A = this chain, B = another copy of it.
Amino acid sequence: MPKIVDHEKRKKQIAEATWKVILEQGMEGATVRNIAKEAGLSLGALRYYFSTQDELFVYAMKLVKENATERINKIAASESPPFEKVMAILLEIVPIDAQTMAEMEVWFAYVFYTRHKEDVFAAKKDEIFKGMKKLLLYLQERQILRSSLDIEIETERLYALIDGLALHALLEPQRMDKERIVKVIQYHMKKICIDGALVEGE
């Protein structure tokens, strides 16, 4: 049994080394050799855990997704008022700290890398779209969303806004800092919610 734990633990270490290499050198620097070096392993040892580079990338991205999902589920299960809850979930997706920034950068690099390898990585791309829709339907159910809205288009709008902000947080961090990101999302959410939806604070 402890051996299995060690096995998973080692795989996570390798995944973390992968993120680090992608962050520092971009996807083109994320060779098996560089990743093994970063993880302090021999090439042979790394190949014991992941027989191909693509296998390693798929695992590393699965971890990114699991980490984000775990954080989001925790917020969803909390006792926060609906507006605050949705705001907190959205802020888990947009990179506002070192951890989410690293995840997002790796995610984008990976998504572009896999653009030309569709056969290898059959990612379900509309999962986040569906997640965004769920958030809006939740606000609608709680009668916090304005009644005149087109949910389908509002979902696309929110999804594009969030991904656009994520992109700008990565690429233009001087202007697009945490405070500004929060301000833009809150501004947007207030526009689509009824007055007084935000119970406390500003």
Interface on A for B, CB 8 Å cutoff?
24-29, 105, 108-109, 111-113, 115-116, 125-126, 129, 150, 153, 156-157, 159-165, 167-168, 170-172, 175-176, 180, 183-184, 187-188, 191
- A113 vs B25: C-alpha distance when bound (angstroms): 9
- Given A27-B28, A116-B26, A163-B167, A156–B172 Cβ distance below 8 Å? no
Determine chain A's interface SS by DSSP, over half rule.
Answer: helix
- A116 vs B73: C-alpha distance when bound (angstroms): 33
For A28, A29, A183, the residue with the greatest tally of chain B CB atoms inside 10 Å of its CB is A28
Q: Which residues of B contact A29 (CB under 8 A)?
A: 116
Is there an interface contact between B25 and A116, defined as CB atoms closer than 8 Å? yes
Interface CB pairs A-B, < 8 A, 14: A26-B116, A108-B112, A109-B112, A129-B175, A153-B183, A153-B184, A156-B165, A156-B168, A157-B161, A157-B187, A160-B165, A163-B163, A163-B167, A191-B191
- Given A26-B112, A26-B116, A108-B112, A160–B175 Cβ distance below 8 Å? no
Is there an interface contact between B184 and A156, defined as CB atoms closer than 8 Å? yes
Which 6 pairs of residues, A with B, have the shortest CB-CB distance?
Answer: A160-B164, A164-B164, A163-B164, A26-B116, A160-B165, A156-B184
Is there an interface contact between B164 and A28, defined as CB atoms closer than 8 Å? no
Q: Which residues of B contact A168 (CB under 8 A)?
A: 156, 159-160, 163
For A109, A112, A113, A125, the residue with the greatest tally of chain B CB atoms inside 10 Å of its CB is A112
Is there an interface contact between B172 and A126, defined as CB atoms closer than 8 Å? yes
Q: How far is the CB of A22 from chain B (nearest CB, A)?
A: 10
Q: Which residues of B contact A113 (CB under 8 A)?
A: 26, 28
- A102 vs B106: C-alpha distance when bound (angstroms): 23
Q: Which residue of B lies closest to A180 (CB)?
A: B156
Q: Which residue of B lies closest to A162 (CB)?
A: B164
Is there an interface contact between A116 and B157, defined as CB atoms closer than 8 Å? no
Q: Which residues of B contact A180 (CB under 8 A)?
A: 156
